[in-house]
Structure 1
């Protein structure tokens, strides 16, 4: 199985990085694709979520592994990333929501794909633009923009026009994935149990597109 390093990253908080990373890991595992997750965020939300679930249900086998990725030591981080590049399968990295840690460049440079969750409000669009500019000076990774928690039934004409303009601009620097609609089932994720049917329906179009972009060969 070929190796792929996939980041879930953006400097704007609240866009669903950790949630989509966890859901995508489960989605890959259920398709029989080897997947391993690394939590590089200081908040360790993904790693702690797994620990809580295992504490409640210690006998359930985890469908995919998740470990912490310490970014404080640049040399050790570079060595770890080198080892992750040899893992047979997809390595997902849930990245911190900032650009202040210079050691993150080791992660960015190693990435094959960066999935960038976002919404279309002005603050998130501006923050995403800042992130893109900084990221592209470091990495050649393919950029996949994941509009997340999108309310498709509301929006003034001007908001819809700006949404269209943003989508067109992002399409010039990467691939805009199918939108994931605002839904409680998407916010509620697990790292231990299979995706619910409605969760799968909510994300499958987006996640299938990511898999296509990864161009994985057995």
Structure 2
């Protein structure tokens, strides 16, 4: 790749699976032969802590990708990092895991300068309105910046239970997707599986990849200009 592709996992609603999907997407990209760096901007430092625990568990196993903590309280430092990434081919992909809030002003700069913004969400009465507000905020940010903002925004229906939902609920979910698709791209659903409760930043993730591959393949194809079929 000519320059690093920046991908950010974000939603103002917590508990939607941002950190898990970020770590799994890093593993997915490595499995596709790409070099990856992850920046953990969440004050809870979940991915950093997970890597520390995994390093003790898998002592001596080579690290598939690097993970760095990064504070969103320093906007100039963030801008400098983004410029360096976009002007470098040192790694193929830089993934940013963000907090489940919009408290840091630097987040807007990250959203405006990321190549792909991935927003996991659930079909429930709390998450859908919160996600809609987040999408509207990105739309307004794009409107204020103009054509200089090249961010491609995806929402990912995440941890949905296959086969669950009444006819009325399923029709409502279709309506949610239709409304969201006016402003964002919709990734294939990641269905709820027990295996997704476990993820590693070092070991292989074959079982988990079977669950997330439909969504990840779709986004990956989009990044590289590969047409997606309806089945995907």
TM-score interval for Structure 1 and Structure 2 normalised by the shorter chain: over 0.9
Partner residue, 2:146: none
Query: Pick from 217, 220, 225: which aligns with 1:208?
Result: 217
Q: What is the match of residue 100 of structure 1?
A: 103
Query: What secondary structure does 1:116 align onto?
Result: strand
How big is each residue's C-alpha offset from its partner over 1:156-182, in whole Å with a ceiling of 9 and x where there is no partner? 222111101011112221211111111
Following TM superposition, where does structure 1 have runs of at least 4 consecutive aligned residues deviating by more than 3 angstroms?
A: none
| Equivalent residue number for residue 142 of structure 1 | 152
How do residues 105-120 of structure 1 correspond to structure 2 at under 5 angstroms? 105-120=108-123
Alignment-derived partner of residue 19 in structure 1 = 20
How far did residue 99 of structure 1 move? Answer: 1.3
Cα distance in 2 between the residues matched to 1:86 and 1:136: 26
Residue 164 (structure 2) aligns with: 154
CA distance in 2, matches of 1:182, 1:117: 13
1:216: Cα distance to partner? 6.9
TM-score relative to the length of structure 2: 0.88
Contact 2:58 2:202 in 1 (8 A): no
Distance 1:131 1:33 in 2: 30
Cα deviation for residue 138 of structure 1 reads 2.6
**Match in the other structure for 1:9:** 10
C-alpha deviation, 1:153, in angstroms: 1.2
Which runs of 5 or more structure 1 residues have no equivalent in the other structure? none
1:173 matched residue in structure 2:
183
Unaligned runs of 5+ in 2: 143-148, 227-232
- Figure out how many residues of one structure are paired with residues of the other and give that number: 216
**2:79 matched residue in structure 1:** 78
**8 Å contact 1:26–1:63 — kept in the other structure?**
yes
Task: Give me the CA root mean square deviation.
Answer: 1.6
Higher relative contact order (CA 8 A, sep 6+): 1
Distance in 2, Cα, partners of 1:138 & 1:80:
21
Displacement after TM superposition at 1:184 (Å): 1.1
Distance 2:128 2:220 in 1: 25
Q: Provide TM-score, normalisation by structure 1.
A: 0.94
